[in-house]
Amino acid sequence: MENILYHGRPLKVTDRLEKEIRVYDLLDELGISYQRVDHEALATMDACQEVDRLLEVNMCKNLFLSNEQKTKFYLLLMPGDKKFKTKDLSKQIGSARLSFGSYEDMEKYLDITPGSVSIMGVMNDKDNQVQLLLDEDITKEEYLACHPCINTSSIKIKMEDVLKRFLPAVGHEPIVVNL
């Protein structure tokens, strides 16, 4: 890991994926400031601890879910240290038999891959096929840390900017749940 905290987008973008650059482009266009750290691929919450320390924030869990029929899809953000109980969530959103969504659906709707799941992916969901679910505790945090659609970088953004600027700009209205 580079252990360097940057303010804003990378200066050199030729070695970055287009979907990552699209995140920075949108945040810049919306006037949303962010801090960024580049690192090795991180696929687990434990692997994120050094990034958490650098960004001075706790990365949240991002779970891509679907109903049994694969007709409804959800992106759930919740504190990393909270246990996920399907039954509790199913009852609140009125969708029984939730399971993890497929790799193919994740890529199709959010243009992200396992290990890179992030709220930033909703910017790629132009037809609103994925319902964003935010655990109430996440919404009370001052900052949100997430991947910019790729798990080799992480960004820190003010939660207020996510809720009042980013989500309205991408046309996604979250449902707040209590897990």
pLDDT tens digits for 63-94? Answer: 999 998 999 999 999 998 899 989 999 999 99
pLDDT beyond 80 at 48: no
Give the closest residue to 101 by CA, choosing from 70, 59, 145, 57.
Answer: 70
Number of domains in the chain: 1
Average pLDDT along the chain: 92
**Residue 97, pLDDT score:** 86
**Residue 2, pLDDT score:** 53
pLDDT tens digits for 105-143? Answer: 999 999 999 889 999 999 999 999 999 999 999 999 999
Position 21, amino acid: I
Contact criterion met (CB below 8 Å) for 97 and 90: yes
Handedness of CA 28, 158, 81, 130 (dihedral sign): negative
Lowest mean pLDDT among 3-17, 89-103, 110-124, 156-170: 3-17
Confidence of residue 1 (pLDDT cuts 50, 70, 90): very low
What domain range includes position 160?
Answer: 5-177
**Residue 49, pLDDT score:** 79
**Residue 64, pLDDT score:** 97
**Residue 78, pLDDT score:** 96
Q: What is the CATH number of the domain that holds 112?
A: 3.90.960.10
Give the closest residue to 73 by CA, choosing from 27, 116, 121.
Answer: 121
More confident: 55 or 27: 27
pTM: 0.92
